[in-house]
């Protein structure tokens, strides 16, 4: 009850999702958008930030309402809160930062269907006070972001030879310009994202033995 | 307090929630509409200017547009100029009409190389609409510049139609062959044979978007054909 704002217990809410309870690599949630938006780094980052914002606020709202929500329609209530927040964010972006909203376009819908959101609302916000719920939202959003950014980094670098749209692999290396290098076309397709996530899961479990199932 | 698991409470809760959320979203939407509309208009002006290779920012677009775009008008599929507001014509609605009812916008832009005729185009990609602006030289045949955009094509694949790498090769291509037949532009994969003056490279991994773009150009040039032929003479 009277925990300080950044007590050890609260900080754990922020840091656990980055590693031992990562929403993507450990809970395997939110895979759909992780495959869809990571062909380039920029949309991956924009998506990650949007999910983090929506998740944190949805967590707070559901946590504030948690003692009033009728049990039988709680999933519907959660969905309405998420959908309303996403539409709100989209409208505000369209009015004030139009170019960012263009980047987001298709991903807005994907936020609503992202199972991390429903998962956190159901598993955490319904049973906790607003402040821990907010931290849990930020933490899980960050855990999701880390994976998206890693995957986006490798896919854009090896798939297009650029990062954030800037050329990293020199033009003169390419076969078409008399060099020896070609982009890996597989990298820009979703199956390769799944393979990259698989490799991340493998590396993470090598380093953190506790995660290995018996 | 009422029984939280009772029917009455559940129904009341749902009803109040829906009305509240609807009210909030509706008022936000109404409040932000004018700003959003202005953003769309600025973007459209930027796209039109981009098709004649004039780079603008959101801040400068309106001023440059007023200087450079000397005429805006509508034509029908017979090539006659008709009454109406060209800038605010909704191409989606026009495309849905019968060919003889369509009103097609034309924008005349003053550039350093003379007057260019900018035609808006609109079609379907993989996930949703794609659109663009094609600027023609006054021979009504050679493409001076092209710009495309999309609603939700896949980043890195179909979405590449909005990049300069895809749009640059359109410059200098022609849409009619020597006998005056409308060929439009063929968006071809490597190895696919097509006359070089009508061909641009497709996007690997973006086949359906590429094909949609090719169809869009052919359909829309067909609607403008009478206008183009008339103007050429």
Residue A210 has pLDDT above 70, yes or no: yes
Q: What is the pLDDT of residue B85?
A: 87
Give the chain B residue whose CA is nearest to the CA of A155.
B156
Which residues in A lie closer than 8 A to residue B156 (C-beta atoms)?
A: 39-40, 155-156, 159-160, 188
Residue of B nearest to A67 (CA): B4
Quote the percentage of chain A above a pLDDT of 90. Answer: 37
Query: What per-residue confidence (pLDDT) applies to B143?
Result: 93
Of B143, A160, A104, residue with least CA distance to B132 = B143
Residue A161's SS3 state is coil
pLDDT at A107: 73
pLDDT-derived band at B74 (thresholds 50, 70, 90) equals very high
Summarize pLDDT for A35-81 with one digit per residue, the tens. Answer: 878 888 888 888 888 889 999 999 999 999 999 999 889 999 999 99
Give the Cα separation of B117 and B75 in Å (integer).
13
Kindly state the average pLDDT of the residues B121-129: 91
DSSP string of B158-210, one letter each residue = GGGGGSHHHHGGGTT-BSB-TTS-B---EEE-TT----GGGEEE--TT-HHHH
For B109-113, what is the mean pLDDT?
89
Residues on chain A touching B204 (C-beta within 8 angstroms): 185
> Which chain A residues have a beta carbon less than 8 Å from that of B28?
88, 91-92
- Residue-level pLDDT at B231: 81
pLDDT at A2 over 60: no
**Which of A13-22, A99-108, B21-30, B97-106 is predicted with the least confidence, judged by mean pLDDT?**
A99-108
Residue of A43, A70, A94 lying closest to B5 (CB–CB): A70
Q: How far is CA B205 from the centre of its chain?
A: 22
Closest in A70, A92, A95 to B4, CB measured: A70
pLDDT at B233: 63
For an interface test with B, the pick among A36, A86, A101, A105 (most B C-beta atoms closer than 10 Å) comes out as A105
Q: Measured between alpha carbons, how far apart are the two ends of chain B, in Å?
A: 82
Percent pLDDT > 70 in chain A is 96
Token look-up 């260019």 returns B116
- Chosen for mutation from B25, B35, B45, B155 (greatest number of chain A CBs closer than 10 Å) is B155
Average pLDDT, chain A: 87
Highest mean pLDDT among A169-178, A187-196, B28-37: B28-37
Say how far apart CA B13 and CA B15 lie, in whole Å. 5
Interchain pair A40, B21: CB under 8 A: no
* B17 in contact with A, Cβ within 8 Å: yes
Report pLDDT for B194. 80
Instruction: Kindly tell me the burial class for residue B4, based on how many C-beta atoms sit within 10 Å of its own C-beta (0-12, 13-18, 19 or more).
Output: middle
pLDDT beyond 60 at B221: yes
pLDDT classification of B197: cutoffs 50, 70, 90: confident
**For residue A90, what pLDDT band results from cuts at 50, 70 and 90?**
confident
Asked if the model's pLDDT at residue B55 lies above 90, the reply is no
**Per-residue model confidence as pLDDT tens digits over B145-178:** 999 999 878 777 888 898 888 999 999 999 998 8
Per-residue pLDDT band at A115 (split at 50, 70, 90): confident
**B20 phi/psi in degrees, rounded to 5:** -60, -50
Write down the residue that tokens 């395997």 correspond to: A28
Residue A69 touches partner B, C-beta closer than 8 Å = yes
Q: Tally the C-alpha atoms within 13 A of residue B6's C-alpha that lie toward its C-beta.
A: 7
Instruction: Find chain B residues with C-beta within 8 A of A106's C-beta.
Output: 127, 151-152
Q: Are A52 and A141 in contact (CB under 8 A)?
A: yes
Whether the CB of A72 is below 8 Å from some CB of chain B: the reply is yes
In this prediction, residue A142 carries a pLDDT of 94
Nearest CA in chain A to B156: A39
C-beta separation of A33 from A23 below 8 A: no
Using CA coordinates, name the residue in chain B closest to A94: B36
């Amino acid at each position: 009850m009277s925990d300080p704002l950044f007590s050890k217990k609260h900080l754990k809410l922020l840091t656990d999702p980055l590693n031992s309870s990562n929403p993507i690599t450990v809970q395997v949630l939110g895979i759909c958008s992780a495959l869809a938006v990571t062909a380039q780094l920029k949309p991956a980052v924009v998506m990650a930030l949007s999910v983090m914002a929506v998740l944190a606020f949805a967590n707070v709202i559901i946590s504030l309402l948690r003692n009033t929500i009728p049990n039988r329609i709680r999933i519907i209530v959660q969905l309405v809160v998420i959908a309303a927040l996403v539409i709100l964010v989209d409208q505000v972006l369209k009015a004030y930062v139009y170019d960012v909203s263009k980047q987001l376009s298709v991903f807005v819908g994907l936020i609503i269907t992202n199972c991390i959101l429903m998962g956190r609302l159901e598993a955490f916000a319904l049973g906790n006070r607003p402040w821990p719920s907010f931290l849990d939202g930020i933490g899980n959003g960050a855990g999701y972001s880390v994976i998206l950014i890693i995957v986006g980094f490798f896919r854009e670098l090896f798939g297009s030879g650029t990062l954030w749209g800037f050329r990293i692999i020199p033009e003169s290396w390419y076969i078409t310009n008399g060099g020896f290098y070609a982009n890996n076309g597989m990298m820009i397709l979703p199956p390769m994202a799944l393979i990259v996530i698989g490799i991340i899961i493998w590396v993470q479990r090598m380093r953190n033995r506790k995660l290995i199932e018996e | 307090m009422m029984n939280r698991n009772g029917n009455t409470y559940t129904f009341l809760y749902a009803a109040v929630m829906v009305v509240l959320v609807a009210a909030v979203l509706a008022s936000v939407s109404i409040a932000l509409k004018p700003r959003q509309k202005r953003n769309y208009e600025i973007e459209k002006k930027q796209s039109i200017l981009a098709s004649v290779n004039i780079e603008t920012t959101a801040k400068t677009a309106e001023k440059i547009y007023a200087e450079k775009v000397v005429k805006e008008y509508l034509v029908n599929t017979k090539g006659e100029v008709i009454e109406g507001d060209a800038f605010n014509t909704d191409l989606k609605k026009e495309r849905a009409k019968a060919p003889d009812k369509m009103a097609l916008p034309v924008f005349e832009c003053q550039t350093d190389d003379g007057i260019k005729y900018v035609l808006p185009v609109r079609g379907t990609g993989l996930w949703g609409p794609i659109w663009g602006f094609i600027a023609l030289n006054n021979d009504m045949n050679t493409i001076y510049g092209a710009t495309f955009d999309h609603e939700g094509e896949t980043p890195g694949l179909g979405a590449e139609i909005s990049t300069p790498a895809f749009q640059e090769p359109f410059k200098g291509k022609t849409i009619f062959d020597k006998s005056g037949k409308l060929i439009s532009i063929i968006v071809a994969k490597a190895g696919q044979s097509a006359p070089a003056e009508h061909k641009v490279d497709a996007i690997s991994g973006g086949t359906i978007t590429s094909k949609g773009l090719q169809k869009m150009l052919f359909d829309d040039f067909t609607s403008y054909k009478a206008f183009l032929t008339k103007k050429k003479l």
